[in-house]
Amino acid sequence: MATPKPGQPVRGSTTGRPLMAALDLFGRRWCLRIVWELQVDALGFRALQQRCDGMSSSVLRQRLVELADAGLVRQTDESHYVLTTLGREAFEALRPLVSWADRWAEALEDD
């Protein structure tokens, strides 16, 4: 499957609206997680894989190619993976999820 990008038809939407492309991109397994872990610091392939609880190397590779293609991630000279400016902005956009997740946890405790 092609990397979802704004301006192009995407799985689940033919309009190419940026938001829909983003929802497709981030709706792929491990994608959110990878962005999350890379924000902490630059990581090599195998280290990143460990941070993601030993996710499949083939899928990790696939996601990294997609994220690089989408401009969120790039490789350093030492072939470490880092977030680009765009990638860091994406992380910032995702940050409110943390506090929400905590409220979520609290809400589910009352059952």
Residues that bind DNA (CB under 7 A): 1, 11-12, 28-30, 44-47, 49, 54-59, 61-62, 64, 75, 79-80
**Two structure tokens written together for 68:** 């690089």
8, two tokens? 């192009």
What secondary structure letter does DSSP report for 81?
E
Instruction: Report, in Å, the least distance between residue 50 CB and DNA.
Output: 9
Pull the structure tokens for residue 94.
């995702």
What DSSP element (H or E) covers 82?
strand 81-83
d(CA 8, CA 24): 12
Q: CB of 66: closest distance to its own copies in angstroms? A: 14
> What residues does 82 pair with on adjacent strands?
74
- Least distance between its own copies and beta carbon 88 (Å): 11
The reply to whether 53 sits near its own copies by the rule CB under 8 A is yes
Q: Which residue in 38, 43, 52, 83 binds its own copies (CB under 8 A)?
A: 52
**Residue 102 binding result from its own copies, DNA, none, given CB thresholds of 5 to 8 Å by partner type:** its own copies
How near is the Cβ of 91 to its own copies at its closest, in Å? 10
Q: Residue 45, interface with its own copies (CB under 8 A)?
A: no
Distance CA 99, CA 91 (A): 14
